[in-house]
Amino acid sequence: MSLIEMFIALVIILITSLAMMSTALLGIQTNMANSLRDEAVGVAEAKMNELRNLQFTADGIHASLAATGAGGTAEPSVARMIRASSFTFSVRKTIVDVGTAGDLKQVTIAVTWTFKGQNYTHSITSILKRQEVAS
């Protein structure tokens, strides 16, 4: 009788352990997806800050701030190591002239990456205003 009870207890422990293992794997995948999203946010913010620091005055405009149209232009990809795995983030920049005087530009940075065979995208948009040059 005790051998049968022990066998039943082992089966129950096995089933419980398998359920907890699948829950742990789901948690690990969710944490990795969140880490990738956080990295994509950082890549997008770094590119946007780079563009914000370029010269945009009445005298001239930096080539990186020229209007790109609706499709945008591809920027160099960014490779990052996250938890001992290499991931590539594709960056696309779209710049559209807004306003009537040409003193405003709408800049959109879209970062795309792939995880578990699915594509993800994070994009940020900002308005840049022409800087006045002090005389």
Mean pLDDT of the chain: 87
Please report whether residue 20 resides in a domain: yes
Closest CA to 75 of 123, 128, 26, 8: 123
Res 57: pLDDT? 61
Please report whether residue 134 resides in a domain: no
For 123, the domain range is 2-129
Q: For 10-53, how does the pLDDT look when each residue is reduced to its tens digit (9 = 90+)? A: 999 999 999 899 899 999 999 999 999 999 999 999 999 988 88
Provide mean pLDDT across the span 118-123: 96
- Of residues 32 and 64, more confidence is placed in 32
Q: How many domains, the chain?
A: 1
Res 60: pLDDT? 60
Please report whether residue 54 resides in a domain: yes
Low-confidence winner among 77-81, 91-95, 99-103 (lowest mean pLDDT): 99-103
Please report whether residue 14 resides in a domain: yes
Give the C-alpha separation, 78 to 67, whole Å.
23
**Dihedral (CA of 95, 97, 102, 107) sign:** negative
Res 19: pLDDT? 87
Provide mean pLDDT across the span 81-104: 87
Provide mean pLDDT across the span 68-92: 87
Please report whether residue 103 resides in a domain: yes
Give the C-alpha separation, 85 to 62, whole Å.
36
Please give the model's pTM, rounded to 2 decimal places. 0.77
- Is residue 96 within 8 A of residue 71, CB to CB? The reply is no
